[in-house]
Amino acid sequence: MHVGDVGVPHSFAFTSSWKWLDFGSTETSPNELKFGAYNLPKKGENLLERIQFSPVQLFTNQKAMEELFWFRVNPHWYNLAIQLQGMQLQRCLNETACLPTEPKVVLGLRGSTANVFMSNLAYAKFLYEKFSISTADEESAAVVHTSLSNGVPCIVFRGVSDVAGGEKLALQGLSALAAINSFKVAAKFVELLAKKNIAF
C-alpha cells in the first residue's frame, strides 16, 4: 500500500500485547518474535531473547469471557464495503502536489494496533510475513474491541499517511490525502448503508 490509499481490514490484533521471555527460555509459541533472528551480520542468540504475542480478553453481555488475538469487524458491513473497491480517490492536493500513482481502496487486509508509532521497516516486514498485517495504527483494534464488547456493528477505514522505512511523501504534505480519502470512503459507505436500509 502507498500514501493516500485507504485500507479496509477485516481483522485487527493488539500487537503490543505480549510477554517478554527470559534469555534461554524454552517456552514456545507460534506467535513470537525472536530478536536474535535480526542480529547482523548473521543470525544468532540475543540477550533480548524473544517476545510472545498474546491474546486479549473480550467481555460481552451475551457470552462468557473469550481470549482473542484477532478482532473482526462486522462481517455484513465488511461485505457491503466490497462495493467500494475501484472508487476514485483524490490524488492531488493542488496543481503541483500529487501522488505518483492513483490511490486505491484495498480490502482483504489485517490490521495491527499498538501504543507505538511504527517506522521500522524490518518490523513492518515481520508483521506482514508472520501475521499478514498490512496496516499499523494506534487506535483501530481498541475501537473494534469496544464495539464487539457492546454489540455495536463496526467497520474501519484506514488512510495510509506514511510507509514504514519507505516513502517520504509525508514530508511533502501529501499525507493529508490519507484523511481526505478515508473520509470520502467512509461517506460513500454511509450512503450504501442508507440505500440498503441497514441499521447503524
Q: 6-15+57-196 sits in which CATH class?
A: alpha beta
Percent of the chain with pLDDT over 70: 95
Q: Are 3 and 180 in contact (CB under 8 A)?
A: no
Tell me the pLDDT tens digit for each residue of 105-162: 999 999 999 998 888 889 999 999 999 999 999 999 999 999 999 999 999 999 998 8
* 80 three-state secondary structure: helix
Q: Is the pTM of this model over 0.85?
A: yes
Instruction: List per-block mean pLDDT (blocks of 10 residues) for the chain, which spans 200 residues.
Output: 94 94 85 90 91 93 90 96 96 89 95 90 92 94 96 95 70 82 97 78
Query: Residue 188: which residues within 8 A CB-CB, separation 6 or more?
Result: 84, 87
- Taking the domains of the chain in order of start, what are their residue ranges? 6-15+57-196, 18-54
